[in-house]
Chains A and B, each alone.
Chain A
Amino acid sequence: MHLQIATRQVADAVIAMPVGRIDHRSAAEFEAALTPLVAAAVATKGALVLDFSGVEYISSVGLRVLMIAAKKMREREAPLLVTALQSVVAEIFAISRFDRILTVTATLDDAMALCSPAALAQYRSAGASGMP
């Protein structure tokens, strides 16, 4: 197991927090975990927030998974946000130009603010932490 993903519902948004490396060994696992989350989000037009604070590295294969998810969500006008990138991952996003095609925020609080007032309020009232 190279990658672990915890999720939680916050009002009309879902926060998913992968932890580990998203590379050629774990990208399929990442895609399998993301697919039902994307399907649920597009069904409800709710936001999906990927908290990347636990992601140490992402390769081209992992970025492709993000691209597919973003495309599906964009087609159904459901927001996908990626947030709290570690410095190495932030550099990879910039070099790959993924920072130009995905909505990336510095903090989870910033991301929740872009989701909905209800999501932001519930996130803040829960203490802005505590992934399950």
Chain B
Amino acid sequence: MKSVRFWGTRGSLPVALTARDVREKLLGALRAARGRAIASESDLEAILAGLPFAAAGTYGGHTSCVQIDTGGPEFFVCDMGSGLRPFGQAATARRNGIGQTFHIFMSHVHWDHIMGLPFFVPAFIPGNRVVIYGSHEELEAALRRQQDKPSFPVDFSIFGAKLEFVHLEPGRTREVAGVAVTSMLQRHAGDSYGYRFEAQGKVVVYSTDSEHPLAQAEHAERFVRFFHDADLVIFDAMYSLADAISVKADWGHSSNIVGVELCQMAEVRHLCLFHHEPVFDDAAIDAVLAETRRLEEITRGARPLHISAAFDGMEIAL
């Protein structure tokens, strides 16, 4: 496996910057440029490089969609949130978008994780193959229902690609295009499943929409085993710990604190915060990232844990 690219990182609902948000970013950049040389492109790049990510960029607003570049010709994707649309456009630009195979692994079938399929251009192209993997019995029915009238104007008959559904038995490793894939049951309304991908000595874990009951030691041990020695864990860190175990208990999500603890126990190398709270602006996510890095620093054991916060368009080399 070569890298992971994020096409959608937001939880629950897509969001977008407003005109006011953009104006604030522009004002911040202009203030930073005040009194500085701006004659050359490198001058401008230097000014932008000095700005915090929330000022010079954005975490984006598409819902869950993550691509794993295995190094092979076939595409690997986790979830079909609204980020599937830009992913599909980028994939179509390769080799004219014809004769492609997509392996898509579904955490669950809640709306924010399936809403991209009706807008997934490769599924409309004859000769393409879209294989959708999951452990929910109702996976295919949920996707078809999404496009039934009156919710959507066209049903599955519009797709020109060959769509296939593959049921994965949780805990049983399956070989897919040279990658060992294992799913695991997670705590979420209607159940969700995490995925562990292993190939060429690299391990990536995708674990979103997953609540962690703190009182159950065996639950934590199960996740520590699932995460063990991973190069990258993509982790649902939607809420603060206080919210996750009080007013938002049983909402099916987790926190940055639990992410750090599990990854430290599992000797993970890189924790990527994911499924960001839709009410958070860029500055709020920046703050969560800074706090999480600080938590890792003050609780660090023998092995440091790298922390990042996913944003739409972010790429992590493995």
Chain A contacts to B: CB under 8 angstroms: 24, 57, 59-61, 63-64, 67, 71, 88, 91-92, 94-98, 100-101
Complex alpha-carbon distance, A101 and B243, angstroms: 9
A61 touches B214 (CB 8 A): yes
Evaluate whether A96 and B241 lie within 8 angstroms (CB atoms) in the complex, with A60-B261, A64-B214 already known. Answer: yes
Given contact pairs A60-B241, A61-B215, A101-B242, A95 touches B257 in the complex (Cβ within 8 A): yes
CB distance from A28 to the nearest CB of B (A): 9
Q: How many B residues are at the interface, by size bracket?
A: 20 to 34
Give 1 or 0 for each of B216-227: 1 = CB within 8 Å of chain A CB. Answer: 010010000000
B221 (CB) vs chain A CBs: closest residue: A24
* B246 cross-chain contacts in A, Cβ below 8 A: 67, 71, 101
Is the pair A60, B214 in contact by a Cβ cutoff of 8 Å? yes
Query: Are B215 and A95 neighbours in the complex by a CB distance under 8 Å?
Result: no
Are A60 and B258 in contact, CB atoms less than 8 angstroms apart?
Answer: yes
**Contacts of B251-272 to chain A: CB distance below 8 A:** 255-258, 261
| Interface residue SS majority, chain A | helix
Say whether B217 contacts A98, CB under 8 Å.
no
Give complex CA distance A81, B241 in Å. Answer: 19
Q: Known contacts A24-B217, A24-B220, A67-B246: does B295 contact A97 (CB below 8 Å)?
A: no
A124 nearest CB across to chain B (Å): 32
CA gap between A94 and B294 in the complex, in Å: 11
Complex alpha-carbon distance, A100 and B220, angstroms: 26
Judged by a CB distance under 8 angstroms, whether B299 is at the interface is yes
Chain A residues near B241 (CB, 8 Å)?
Answer: 60, 63, 95-98
Known: A60-B258, A64-B215, A95-B257. A88 touches B243 (CB 8 A): no
- Contacts between the two chains (Cβ within 8 Å), count: 52
A97–B237 CA distance with the chains assembled, in angstroms: 14
Query: Does chain A have a CB within 8 A of B298?
Result: yes
Contacts of B299 in A (CB 8 A): 57
Determine how close the nearest CB of chain B comes to the CB of A3; give it in whole angstroms.
Answer: 16
Out of B243, B245, B291, B294, which one reaches A64, CB within 8 Å?
B245
Cβ–Cβ < 8 Å partners of B243 in chain A: 97
Q: Cβ of B92: which chain A residues have Cβ within 8 Å of it?
A: none
> A96 — which chain B residues lie within 8 A by C-beta?
240-242, 255, 257
Check: B292 CB closer than 8 A to any chain A CB.
yes
CA distance A100 to B292 in the complex (A): 17
A71 and B258 CA atoms in complex are apart in Å by: 21
Could you write out 14 A-B pairs with CB less than 8 Å apart? Answer: A24-B217, A60-B214, A60-B258, A61-B214, A61-B215, A63-B242, A64-B214, A64-B215, A91-B298, A95-B295, A97-B240, A97-B241, A97-B242, A97-B243
Q: How far is the CA of A101 from the CA of B241 in the complex (A)?
A: 11
Contact B261 A100 (CB under 8 A): no
Q: Which residues of A contact B298 (CB under 8 A)?
A: 88, 91-92
Give Cα A63–Cα B243 distance, bound, in whole angstroms. Answer: 12
Least CB distance, A7 to chain B, in whole angstroms: 24
CB distance from A20 to the nearest CB of B (A): 16
CA distance A50 to B294 in the complex (A): 25
Q: Across the interface, do A60 and B215 meet the contact criterion of CB distance under 8 Å?
A: no
Among A24, A60, A61, A88: residue with most chain B CB under 10 A:
A60
A59 to B242, CA, bound (A): 12
Bound Cα distance A12, B241 (Å): 32
CB neighbours (8 Å) of A64 from chain B are: 214-215, 245
Q: Give the distance to chain B from A89, nearest Cβ to Cβ, in Å.
A: 10
Digit string of B278-302 for contact with A (CB within 8 Å is 1, else 0)?
Answer: 0000000000000110110011000
Distance to closest chain B CB from A69 (angstroms): 12
Q: How far is the CA of A24 from the CA of B258 in the complex (A)?
A: 12
Please, how many angstroms separate the alpha-carbon atoms of A97 and B256 in the complex?
A: 11
CB neighbours (8 Å) of B215 from chain A are: 61, 64
